[in-house]
Amino acid sequence: MWRVPGRADGAADPSLAEALGTLHARASLFDPARAVLMARAPGRLDLMGGIADYSGGLVLEFPIRQATCVFAQSCEARRLTILSLVSDGAASSSARAPKMVSISLDALTPAAGPLEYARARAWLGGDPEQAWAAYVAGALVVLQRERGRLLSRGANLLIHSDLPAGIGLASSAALEVAALETLAALTDTPLGERELALLAQMVENLIVGAPCGVMDQLTAVAGRAGCLIEILCQPAEARGHIPIPSALEVWGLDSGIRHAISGADYGSVRAATFMGYRMLAEEAGLAVTVDADSGRLRVDDPLFGGYPANVSPALWRARYRDVVPVALDGATFLERYGGTTDAATVVDPSRTYHVRACTEHPILEHERARRFRELLSTGATQEAGRMELGQLMYDSHASYGACGLGSDGTDRLVDLVRAAGPAAGLYGAKITGGGSGGTVAVLARRDCGPAVVEIASRYERETGRRCEAITGSSPGSRAFGVRHLEPSLETR
């Protein structure tokens, strides 16, 4: 058995107690006479900003109660062994599906030098049944390549999570961050908050292969319980924390429709955004060159700094909107413009992209996020201000749909919240994260949880899909810290 020396705060946290129970139930993975490291990173609800993060937008993210814990201990065997017990169902489900992967440390850290990212991606993701381990093993590859840190011995890792995958709560970022925290501790690698988030994003982009922005990782690292974290994604600047006013509360509603951030919808929307940015650069007369090493385009951009979100809504409407076509096929775009500046996506010649809507989204979303922040910072004490917050969420949700990232389930949940409205204490709702299913974020008056739960019940009756109501908040990995769980006296 292990205990947390001098730390009583976890005892009153049921989810932390459950994670420790998992550790003790799987104690055979570890040497009972030695300390175990523990890191914890939460999921998030995206209140405003969402996919504008890869465009340099302002995002406002809420760290939730559900989280991923990683326990780690070095071992003599030169292997990285990872045992995962992750919830397969809704957020409150305690069901776990054990999965284990064991990887030779010599294969993961070859004598010739750290693995190239493309090779690591092909190797770790080659077996669909074991591809989940890339989020953890990939963290070690990134530490090797970016910081030159190697494990001197093998390691055993146990993953416990009550954060379901595929419902828009940033489960992958939570896993990457918690794994990096423990592996950095095992390799004596000091990491700052921003660096940790960016390294976790590299795991997702370069090894897992999902073209995500950085908001999920930075929230998992630097979030504060009960607050929105304000992030300017140019590329990753945490500007502070905005407390949710005492009269308001944030909820999530799981639509029961799963999505994958690495899927075509999210990637094609991101690609279309940078296609639009390339057209803006042409219209603005910005110099475009080809990078000799990567073959990607580079834009000398003193106007917008390379970020589509920095185009003002007024300038977009007056000068650029009509230049960007509603839709364009990839072959025509590549023939005219040669490519994009985005390292995480590739334009498919055979695909047609909704270029205008996808380019417009981050421009208007950046402005919506700034107004949302302003209203919350003044306390949103007046009913008119709360209703404006809600309208900003509804506008954001509609913009997601225009990009092609909606779903019938999330649309129905938003419609149900809107129909109940302020009379029921419900001000706004929007899809979260990468879209195409997943979870809807809801802004409600603090005493109106029963109205949110009733909407979940009505949705279940209509659709036959389970709809979990998600509530509560918790801190990011840095506030939690990497904890050294000491063996109890009887096991020493």
The sign one gets for the Cα dihedral 169, 175, 181, 182 is: positive
Asked whether 56 and 49 are in contact (CB, 8 A), the reply is no
Q: Which structure tokens are listed for 6?
A: 């001098």
Q: Which structure tokens are listed for 307?
A: 């970020």
DSSP symbol at 96: B
CA-closest candidate to residue 52, choices 321, 433, 440? 433
Residue numbers annotated as active site: 216
Calpha distance 363→369 (Å, rounded) = 10
Calpha distance 223→216 (Å, rounded) = 10
Q: Which structure tokens are listed for 405?
A: 């990232």
Q: Are strands 352-353 and 426-431 parallel, antiparallel or unpaired?
A: unpaired
First-residue to last-residue Cα distance in the chain: 10
Asked whether 133 and 59 are in contact (CB, 8 A), the reply is no
Instruction: Compute the chain's Rg from CA coordinates.
Output: 23
Q: Which structure tokens are listed for 466?
A: 């389970």
Q: Which amino acid is at 293?
A: D
Calpha distance 467→409 (Å, rounded) = 10
